[in-house]
Amino acid sequence: MKVCPVNIIRLGVLWGVFAFELCHAGREPEAWDTLPQVDNIRFSKESIGFSTFNNRFFILDRELESFGEVSQNDFIKRLQVSKDQKSSAVLTNTGNKTSDGTEFQTSDAYCSEGENLTHTLSHNGKAFHNHVAPCYSISAIEKTGDQLWLGTRLDGEYGHYPAEGIVVQSFKSGKLIKKIDSKSRLTGDLVRVIRNDPYGNNVWVATHLGLNKISQNLIIMRSYYFYEDFDERTGKATVFLESSKKLSNPLAVIELELAIERPKEFHEAVKKIPREKLKGFSLYNFHSGIYHVGNARGVETSFVPKEMNILVPFFIEAARSANHAAKEMAVSRLCIFNDRQVIDFFIELDKNSSSDRLEKLCAKDCIDKFKKLGLLETPEH
């Protein structure tokens, strides 16, 4: 089941986590890196709103179950909060305050690189016994009646990773009630936000892969997985909801990353690439896979199929844009194309004294790749 988008717009660029030293990045990319990273949930009688750390805004219509990205102004307008709502936690991300106003204090765990720092949870200045594994951090807290819901994540050297989903225990006695995780249909075990719905007898949970509607008797009522693809009407890269896990269309993700200003033209270009030529294409071959400059072994395997060169002008346009994040993404990925326009672009960057450090690094690496594969003559000294 695909939930169709409404009032969709494109706001900025995804995957900011890789906007540093992209030609020599240290962390392997994960499939969820480009998906919306929800950090707050808001409610109205008609809608449920989800906002992300990088200021993207989505609304799920309760009745129609339509889902789409909206502007910040539309988000605020449609999620007006009535005066009878009890807690500002419904409005803003208040960290360790639950929606009924109960406050907790936490510290994160870090059990990696020889460290053995376990998490802590306290309430009213006293340690609060909990059933979260010591080396997992508590990423979200919510309280409904006597149920205390604790979201979890694993903190690693390069970021956050899945842990054990949600631990539900008694607030009064501390007794474990239930663990809710991906084995029980939770969309993922890296939990970002848990919020009690003031207009329904349920709790909403955002994970790294999607959204979940869970009853207060701990039954998952709906699981929605994020999925990125093109809107066929507009050509814009769009976030959809799916009832089962599905890998995003990598070219739709690229359209978002590069902040393409002509999405319809980009989509039309994508449609001209034979489908069979895209079978081996993956976002993850950029970082340390077959397209990475350090792995160049042969012309046929070191570049994307030549039929994809139709996208080169869009990459170069993004690489020259004023959008810094899009520019970095374009420059760091241009070397996947065996195209003369690409090498001319990098030669220009290499000679340009105003090129920044990333541009210089990527230019050098790409020129070296072309030379290594015999596609660019090495000047005689």
pLDDT of 9 reads: 30
Residue 218: pLDDT band with limits 50, 70, 90: very high
Task: Say whether pLDDT at 149 is over 90.
Answer: yes
Task: Say whether pLDDT at 242 is over 70.
Answer: yes
Tokens of 318: 């993004």
* Residues 286-311 pLDDT 10s: 766 788 888 888 898 899 999 999 99
Q: 161 and 124 in contact (C-beta within 8 Å)? A: no
Task: Give the residue-averaged pLDDT of 75-84.
Answer: 70
pLDDT of 376 reads: 86
Average of per-residue pLDDT values in the chain: 87
* Residues 243-283 pLDDT 10s: 999 999 999 999 999 999 999 999 999 999 999 999 888 87
pLDDT of 296 reads: 84
> Could you give the CA distance from residue 342 to residue 302 in angstroms, rounded to a whole number?
14
Task: Say whether pLDDT at 8 is over 90.
Answer: no
> Could you give the CA distance from residue 86 to residue 78 in angstroms, rounded to a whole number?
19
The pairing of beta strand 47-52 with beta strand 57-61: antiparallel
pLDDT of 96 reads: 79
Task: Give the residue-averaged pLDDT of 336-343.
Answer: 96
Task: Say whether pLDDT at 84 is over 60.
Answer: no
CB atoms within 10 A of CB 36: 24
Residue 126: pLDDT band with limits 50, 70, 90: very high
Q: What pTM does this model have?
A: 0.86
Residue 87: pLDDT band with limits 50, 70, 90: very low
pLDDT of 285 reads: 74
SS3 label, residue 38 = strand
pLDDT of 330 reads: 95
Residue 41: pLDDT band with limits 50, 70, 90: very high
pLDDT of 295 reads: 84
> Could you give the CA distance from residue 122 to residue 103 in angstroms, rounded to a whole number?
9
CB atoms within 10 A of CB 87: 16
